[in-house]
Amino acid sequence: MQQKIINMLELQDSMNSKVNADWRNAGNEWYRAIWMEASEMLEHYGWKWWKKQDPDVMQVKLEVVDIVHFALSIRLEQGLPLDETAALIAADFENVMQAEDIRKTIECLALLTLTDQGAHFTFIAGIMKYMAMPFDELYEIYVGKNVLNMFRQDNGYKEGTYNKVWNGREDNEHLADIMKQLNTDSQTFQNDVYAALAQNYAA
């Protein structure tokens, strides 16, 4: 797990640097991104008691991964060596924290994040446990989403020219389909995801 977390930290640093080479000193409000993503996660899971709602499991997992992107960024800004940072995060993942159901666990994550603007992998792990989402699955989806984020930047996301909806579906949904079709253990997995995104985007 620790080596995979180091890989994730390195990928996150590369992604953040693509957006802004001096990202560590940019004063980004990572905490705000986390609680907003938590709200989106709750929407995908469903919370309205007055209508029938079935959890969109893959979209909930993608929101977990989005939150991990921002949580990793918070830890990277602290400036500790990567192996030390990874060890602390791995320990947090092992120390699973949950409320009495997944909705309240998502709210605990949002509340704690707003309170101290920190990265709470313990409650992220709690949400993952409710979703029966092992760490290896988180890692695979993280790598896929990181590639999508790179693809977005390469195609004008920051400039506002990127089209997030392709053929009536968001790019996250296309990514979910691509992830099902590819071999996540392949050494060319990242390149394969990028190539498939490019093909779908051009279609």
The whole-angstrom separation of Cα 9 and Cα 85 is 9
Span of 63-67, 77-81, 94-98, 177-181 with lowest mean pLDDT = 177-181
Model confidence over 95-120: pLDDT tens digits?
999 999 999 999 999 999 999 999 99
Q: Is the dihedral of CA 173, 141, 157, 121 positive or negative?
A: positive
Kindly list the structural domains of the chain, giving each domain's residue range(s) and its CATH number in brackets, ordered by start: 2-202 (1.10.4010.10)
- For residue 167, pLDDT over 90 is answered with no
Query: What pTM was estimated for this model as a whole?
Result: 0.89
pLDDT of residue 14: 93
The residue whose two tokens read 């996301």 is 157
pLDDT of residue 17: 95
| pLDDT (mean) for 142-157 | 92
Within its chain, how far is the Cα of 64 from the centroid? 5
